[in-house]
Amino acid sequence: MVRRFGPSLALLLAALGAWQGVASLAAVDDLTLASPLEAAGALRADWTLLMENAWITLVETLLGLAIAVVGGALAAVAMHLVRPLRDAAYPLLVASQAIPLVVLAPLFVLAFDYGIGPKLAIVALICFFPITVNLLDGLRSVEPELIKLMRSLGASRLMTLRKVELPASLPSLFSGLRVAASVSVIGAVFGEWAGAEAGLGRLVLLGNNQLQTPRVYAGVVLLTVMALALFAAVSLAERAAVPWKRHGGAT
């Protein structure tokens, strides 16, 4: 752990040090650039406020992610089982990535009002693509020999899906989930920027307008921690769900 992340940590500390140095220069206004120490101070001073808002953002992120996982898994399996559906939907799915989803946020607010709805919609929409496409690729890349084996053993299509294709595509699903976890927080923030009563994204936007620069930085730090924690949780879940990968080499 130390050996792996040690150099990165050193680099991060050096960057923070440089930042502290620049921010401490007399010529730099505190409102333009807060120093890391000031950000840490804000983190301590505004802890309760930050946590209340972080909780709201976390709930939006997790619910949106959950919707994307369920929807994405269903879509991937349906496209895998029904070839014409895949042929029709796959190009559209890829093309849909050209739509700048986050700028649609205000439209969702118009459609769903100020509640949690638009945030969930944005998070779910951004996370849907990596989950669906990775799972679908995983389902398609199962070795043909295994499919032949299952046919020869007399397995039904659904049995092959359940016993071979789904377990075999778990590693791909988790790659998709890792991408989804890292972008999901961004989705929640954009959702809040389009209109919200609470949440870290809103707090950061508000702090920016009110020139509370240290608080903005504290909020950004928390959002980053949240995304990293989600990423780590997905990685842990993967280790639990795909234990055979650790033995290496097998198929």
| Surface-to-core class of residue 7, CB atoms within 10 Å of its CB (0-12 exposed, 13-18 middle, 19+ buried) | exposed
Nearer to other proteins, 117 or 167 (CB): 167
Torsion angle of alpha carbons 86, 91, 95, 101, nearest 10°? 0
The answer to whether 204 and 166 are in contact (CB under 8 A) is no
| Interface map 44-83 toward other proteins (x if CB under 8 A) | ----------------------------------------
19 residue type, one letter: W
106 residue type, one letter: P
**Which of 51, 110, 159, 198 is in the footprint of other proteins by CB under 8 A?**
159
Distance between CA atoms of residues 187 and 219, nearest Å = 15
Give the footprint of other proteins on residues 115-154 (CB under 8 A). 143, 145-146, 148-154
Nearer to other proteins, 148 or 239 (CB): 148
Of 41-49, 80-88, 157-165, 190-198: span binding other proteins (CB under 8 A): 157-165
- Give residue for tokens 């209109």: 195
Distance between CA atoms of residues 89 and 87, nearest Å = 6
Nearer to other proteins, 109 or 150 (CB): 150
Of 52-60, 159-167, 177-185, 193-201: span binding other proteins (CB under 8 A): 159-167
Nearer to other proteins, 84 or 243 (CB): 243
Positions in the binding site for other proteins (CB under 8 A)? 143, 145-146, 148-155, 159, 163-164, 167-168, 242-244, 247-251
